[in-house]
Structure 1
Amino acid sequence: MSFTVYHKKETDTTLDTSPIFPVNSIYMFIPRRKIILTGYRATGKTLVGLMLAQRLNLDFLDMDEMIEVRAGQSIHQIVAQQGWEQFRLLERDLLSELICRKDVVISTGGGAILHQDIWSLLQQTGLVVWLGADIDTICRRLAADEKSTRQRPTLTDSDIYTEVAHMLVAREPLYQKGSHLAVDTSNKTAGEIVHIIELALANDEFLRTIEASIPNDPTFY
């Protein structure tokens, strides 16, 4: 697989927060002016999504939060009382609705990619960015986020490291297939990740591959 990597200069210790492109001119290439963030838990989807939406003057939607509001329960409660199958049904219904949304940055749940038939349609309506991280980084972030741990039930009965390793093996091929751009967030701040996505949005050649609405192997950063 061919891929492109941008390296930050060692002397560049601050993030330039000024726009690096005219926002309106870029979205002629992005169907429905929509950016979808995918990836496993603790890879920065919510924080990056919020920052990106603010920078690009777009709405921000967090799928997990929307499901909780609609159900009137936390994800942990939904799963405890009705099982993962019911949660996936709620997730699938919401994902279908979001196909038609525009002018938005969407943070999807880590398992939303499992709905492959709907995801293939979603992938043709906007830019899909896969935020990844190595196992150690994900486990460290999960351990530091007690609120997330309490609210989000485990997917297996294994310890957290084993569970993360197992889920990444199963899902990474889907993330790769279902995205246009991949960013390793392991050693990057949210601001740096947003900047990388902005650089991609300023690349006309890259944007034209999105405009063609043909799923390609993701470009890696």
Structure 2
Amino acid sequence: MLYESAGRSKIFLIGYRACGKSVVGQELAVRLGYEFLDMDREITRREGVSIKELVAARGWDYFRRRERELLLELSSPPAPGPAPDTPGLVVATGGGAVLQEDLWPAIKAAWPVVWLTADAATITARLSGDSSSEQQRPALTDQGLLAEVEEILQQRLKLYRQAAGLEIDTTTAKPAEIVDRIIDWLQEQS
């Protein structure tokens, strides 16, 4: 493994929706021989409904509590002693996982955290071109999509920046190029 610690190796990908966390995370996991976990998909699997349905039925506070519980579960510190013979894990967090801001200093201290970024126009175009996005995730504001993306990005910018050890703009980069940059960075860290 390229990045090792005492315990199962983990890499966390953060960033706004449609910045490539899932696509890049899956490719990164394959390249490293790690497992991949998308937090939003895991929450929907555990709850048995889409995020949109979950939020409609139980509210954003309930969803954020489930997100926090899963983040705590996934970010547990490395265990002392020899590393277990299990593959590492690449975690694609939900776009709002950085709102759990009290958790990120410990996560960043224990594990690599990579922030995937894109400009608001690119994010809006990607979301508009993804028919499943609207079905799976509710709007965060009552504004149009571009205005919402710009507002939420502005609100979260500082949180993403504080949580990340590496920032990569995905606006024009291909997933394989992004994975190469992450792997190079991981090698520099070890």
TM-score normalised by the chain length of structure 1: 0.78
Task: Give 1:119 deviation, angstroms.
Answer: 2.1
**Correspondence list, 1:180-191, <5 A:** 180-191=165-176
User: Conserved in 2, the CA contact under 8 Å of 1:32 and 1:125?
Assistant: no
Structure 1, 133-142 or 29-38: larger mean CA deviation: 29-38
What CA deviation, in whole Å up to 9, does each residue of 1:73-125 have, x standing for no partner?
Answer: 11000011111111001101111101127710000000000001122222222
CA distance in 2: counterparts of 1:148 and 1:199, whole angstroms: 31
Q: Does 1:195 find its partner at 2:177?
A: no
CA distance in 2: counterparts of 1:30 and 1:106, whole angstroms: 18
Task: Give 1:30 deviation, angstroms.
Answer: 8.9
Structure 1 gaps, min length 5:
1-23, 209-221
CA distance in 2: counterparts of 1:27 and 1:162, whole angstroms: 39
Question: Which SS does the other structure have where 2:103 is aligned?
Answer: helix
Bigger relative contact order, structure 1 or 2, given CA contacts below 8 A and separation 6+? 2
User: Conserved in 1, the CA contact under 8 Å of 2:116 and 2:169?
Assistant: yes
Structure 1, 189-198 or 129-138: larger mean CA deviation: 189-198
Task: Give 1:32 deviation, angstroms.
Answer: 4.3
User: Conserved in 1, the CA contact under 8 Å of 2:3 and 2:187?
Assistant: no
Task: Give 1:140 deviation, angstroms.
Answer: 0.5
**Correspondence list, 1:127-166, <5 A:** 127-166=112-151
CA distance in 2: counterparts of 1:157 and 1:41, whole angstroms: 17
Task: Give 1:28 deviation, angstroms.
Answer: 3.7
Q: Hey, what does 1:104 align to over in structure 2?
A: 89
1:177 alignment partner AA: Q
**Correspondence list, 1:1-221, <5 A:** 24=1, 26-28=2-4, 32-100=8-76, 103-203=88-188, 207=189
The ranges of structure 1 where at least 4 consecutive aligned residues each deviate by more than 6 angstroms after the TM superposition are: none
Task: Give 1:29 deviation, angstroms.
Answer: 6.4
Question: Which SS does the other structure have where 2:171 is aligned?
Answer: coil
Q: How many residue pairs get matched?
A: 181
CA distance in 2: counterparts of 1:132 and 1:30, whole angstroms: 30
Higher Rg of the two aligned structures: 1
User: Conserved in 2, the CA contact under 8 Å of 1:32 and 1:101?
Assistant: no
Question: Which SS does the other structure have where 1:130 is aligned?
Answer: strand
Task: Give 1:202 deviation, angstroms.
Answer: 2.6
CA distance in 1: counterparts of 2:10 and 2:77, whole angstroms: 8
Structure 2 gaps, min length 5:
79-87
